[in-house]
Amino acid sequence: MLSHERVWAAIDALAERYELSASGLAKRAGLDSTAFNKSKRTSADGRPRWPSTESLAKIFEATGSSVEDFVVLIRGGSNRPSRGAEPSVPLLGFAQAGAGGFFDDAGFPVGQGWDLVEIPSATREGTYALEVQGDSMLPLYRNGDRLVVDPQETVRRGDRVVVKTRGGEVMAKVLSRQTQKQLELVSLNPEHPTRTVAVTEVEWVARIVWASQ
């Protein structure tokens, strides 16, 4: 039975699956850190307050979980992904990504001998992970976090993306605006300025589809 209590318990279970608090899950999804606090689960007059479908969609995207996974958690099922063995994708650091020989012109990984990392959702061939190095992506991504990138995903305004320039720079940004001549990229770290990059200087752009600590 779908109940207010079970839905919120499923959100807590989803956060626990990825070793996050409810606040951490909310921040990972780009929501206010208090969005899933227990105090927000009832209104001032004591009526049950349900999470919005938009909030659910955002935590699914941020964790790579599916509606089916969430339904299992609502039913009190296993706090593990329901797809069987966890898939793995190639992993490398941002510094490596900036070097030559690791990607083709479309942003797909090439070559052999990559390290592998498991992720809790199915992926398409060509998906890979980049390990964050340093603090330039705080507060959203920390040193050691892994960003799973799918070069086949359509990139739209507002998406979190990884961009590689022809000069070898690799950066994770939010795509704010795209024209035929340039990309406007908002930094994840508010201390870093917005970047405008000419399309002719961009080697490839790929969407971040999942992030893991």
Give the tokens for residue 40.
């927000």
Tokens 């209590």 belong to which residue?
Answer: 5
The domains of the chain, with CATH numbers, are: 4-74 (1.10.260.40), 88-212 (2.10.109.10)
For residue 44, is pLDDT > 70? yes
| Torsion sign across C-alpha atoms 38, 40, 42, 46 | positive
What is the per-residue pLDDT for 28?
85
The answer to whether residues 72 and 107 touch, using CB atoms and an 8 Å cutoff, is: no
| Distance spanning both ends of the chain, measured CA to CA | 33
pTM, full prediction:
0.55
Q: Three-class SS of residue 83?
A: coil
Q: Which amino acid is at 24?
A: G
For the ranges 91-95, 98-102, 104-108, 135-139, which has the lowest average pLDDT? 98-102
Q: Where are the beta strands (DSSP E) in the chain?
A: 88-93, 115-118, 128-131, 146-150, 160-165, 170-178, 182-187, 195-198, 202-212
| Nearest C-alpha neighbor of 132 from the set 168, 96, 99 | 96
